[in-house]
Amino acid sequence: MSDLNPILSGSVQSIAAYQEAIEQSTQAVVQWLKQPEMYQGKTVAELRERINLEFTAQGLGNQAAIERAVEYFLKDSLSVHHPQCVAHLHCPSLVISQAAEVLINATNQSMDSWDQSPSATIIEIKLIEWLREQVGYTAGDAGVFTSGGTQSNLMGLMLARDAFFARQGHSVQQHGLTGNLSKIKVLCSENAHFSVQKNMALMGLGYQSVTLVKTDQFSRMDLNDLKEKLAQAKANGEQVMAIVATAGTTDAGAIDPLADIAALAAEEQIWVHVDAAWGGALLLSEKYRHFLNGLELADSVTLDFHKQFFQTISCGAFLLKDARHYQLMRYQAAYLNSDFDEEQGVPNLVSKSLQTTRRFDALKLWMGLEALGKKQYAEIIDNGVTLAQQVAQFVVEQPQLELVMHPQLASVLFRFRPENGDTAGVALLNQRIGDALLASGAANVGVTEADGVTCLKLTLLNPVVCLEDVKVLLASVIACGQQLHNA
Ligand SMILES: *Cc1c(COP(=O)(O)O)cnc(C)c1O
């Protein structure tokens, strides 16, 4: 039986099988990386037809299963590292992040309790301490790694809600929601991430609890409208449980005026959560760190490392300014984080997380920081911001293109604009350009709306992409647009 044992262990057979399977997989990845195309261009229908599970009685064995994954998954994957792959906040990954994944996966530590991840728990705690320092929080370890921005935003909103009820002497954790719930509001800008809405619905307060604050011409929260919305809420007998400010909106990369928002919120004892899923990358920047001034005033912060920190998915963090608020989600499970453990000072991170079993994603950022060092990490982050400015300048110089908004982080919003195109026609045309480029496998550009204007979006995270690469992409946008327009 032992030579058939499929489990990873220290046995001679298992180690041999592990090395073979990993070797075969990395060889396949190397071949895939060498593929020149961004995407093979298969349609939804073609992939549905092609991809089928082969779950046989005897099993195919590791080698055949890997071969099938290469054939049906790898070959038709999107090359996220390709210079023409710039649609989303979806980053190419660091080599060191790949190495970290090998260690994370093979050890399979679980971050819920110290006895399932002893050294990993300490590394995560030290990294949270370090991240708090970068943000400008006081020393401490209140915070945790998460699956990403959506979960971090949920933690911020949930603790804000529970702190709001706690101030009125009510424990949501014990007794659930109470009172006239339609009067409880969250304010965020029109350009805040949709996870605010989804999370409020999940928390039992519904989309109706989200009041959208207007934005200025750069998609940043408009402070006058924020004051107005706060005054209106008061006049309507509503209570604002939180303001969500965004540091780096998903399309425009806009950073709300963090310090001013915090000052307004402080007057009324309102929780401020800053969604810095994207803009948080500037914590490491040399040139642009000051864009985040005021972040340290937030009650809680979302950071994502699988965006402009170039870590593999998933890797995010939630930081909480005042550790006492963690009491609001306290749950003591006898088998994981008992009082006994806590009295002994044993750190069981389940107490800080919504998840129970949890990956050791922190190792990726830890190794990334150590491997790259401050200077190189800053450079690869700053590169995208600087490149976006250069690309915007180039777009302005092209008669067939129109810059829709001046870039703030690493994205460029623009559109193809034929001479005799009407508004509706231009919107549809830009949508079709995006679709046609992906279908051809040549490029993946984003299609979105800015202030009601349908436009194309380049998210220029990839630090090895240069202006010349983007010029090639823009030439295909123009060629494709011209062709569709003339057709
Ligand atoms: C990407 C993003 C999110 C969601 O984060 P996930 O990691 O995808 O869950 C939230 N907010 C902003 C501003 C984002 O850009």
What confidence tens digit (pLDDT) does each residue in 336-384 have? 888 888 889 999 999 999 999 999 999 999 999 999 999 999 999 999 9
* Ligand 1: centre distance to CA 194 (Å): 9
Q: 369-486 has which fold?
A: Aspartate Aminotransferase, domain 1 (3.90.1150)
Given a cut of 80, whether residue 31 has pLDDT beyond it is yes
Given a cut of 70, whether residue 2 has pLDDT beyond it is no
Of 250, 312, 408, the one to substitute when testing ligand 1's pocket (max ligand atoms within 8 A of C-beta) is: 250
Domain map (residue ranges) of the chain: 110-359, 369-486
- Closest atom of ligand 1 relative to the 150 alpha carbon: 9
Task: Report the distance separating Cα 199 and Cα 151, nearest Å.
Answer: 9
pLDDT for position 5:
85
pLDDT band (50, 70, 90) for residue 143:
very high
- With 0-12 CB in 10 A as exposed, 13-18 as middle and 19+ as buried, what is 121? buried
- Closest atom of ligand 1 relative to the 247 alpha carbon: 13
| Mean pLDDT for the stretch of residues 126-142 | 98
Q: Which CATH class is domain 110-359?
A: alpha beta
Given a cut of 90, whether residue 4 has pLDDT beyond it is no
Query: In the chain, what percentage of residues exceed pLDDT 90?
Result: 93
Residues in a beta bridge with 304: 316
- Report the relative pairing of strands 239-246 and 210-213 from DSSP bridges: unpaired
| Mean pLDDT for the stretch of residues 289-305 | 98
b/e code 397-419 from CB counts within 10 Å (16+ = b): ebebbbbbbebbbbbbbbbbbbe
Summary mean pLDDT of the chain: 96
User: 246 CB less than 6 Å from ligand 1?
Assistant: yes
Which protein residue's CA is at the shortest distance from atom 6 of ligand 1?
A: 149
* Ligand 1: centre distance to CA 193 (Å): 7
pLDDT for position 187:
98
Given a cut of 90, whether residue 332 has pLDDT beyond it is no
Residues in a beta bridge with 243: 187, 272
What confidence tens digit (pLDDT) does each residue in 442-462 have? 899 999 999 899 999 999 999
CA quadruple 391, 396, 402, 404: dihedral positive or negative?
A: positive
Question: Do the domains 369-486 and 110-359 match in fold?
Answer: no
Better-scored residue on pLDDT, 9 or 337: 9
Task: Report the distance separating Cα 118 and Cα 109, nearest Å.
Answer: 9
Closest CA to 480 of 448, 442, 454: 442
Better-scored residue on pLDDT, 390 or 1: 390
| Mean pLDDT for the stretch of residues 414-437 | 91
Backbone angles phi, psi at 402, to 5 degrees: -130, 130
Task: Report the distance separating Cα 324 and Cα 318, nearest Å.
Answer: 15
pLDDT for position 1:
38
| Mean pLDDT for the stretch of residues 245-253 | 97
Q: How far lies 28's CA from each of 15, 31, 38, 82, in Å?
A: 20, 5, 16, 17
* Ligand 1: centre distance to CA 254 (Å): 14
pLDDT for position 487:
86
pLDDT for position 353:
98
pLDDT band (50, 70, 90) for residue 419:
confident
User: 219 CB less than 6 Å from ligand 1?
Assistant: no
Instruction: Give pTM, 2 decimals.
Output: 0.96
User: 148 CB less than 6 Å from ligand 1?
Assistant: yes
* Ligand 1: centre distance to CA 53 (Å): 31
What confidence tens digit (pLDDT) does each residue in 190-215 have? 999 999 999 999 999 999 999 999 99
pLDDT band (50, 70, 90) for residue 88:
very high
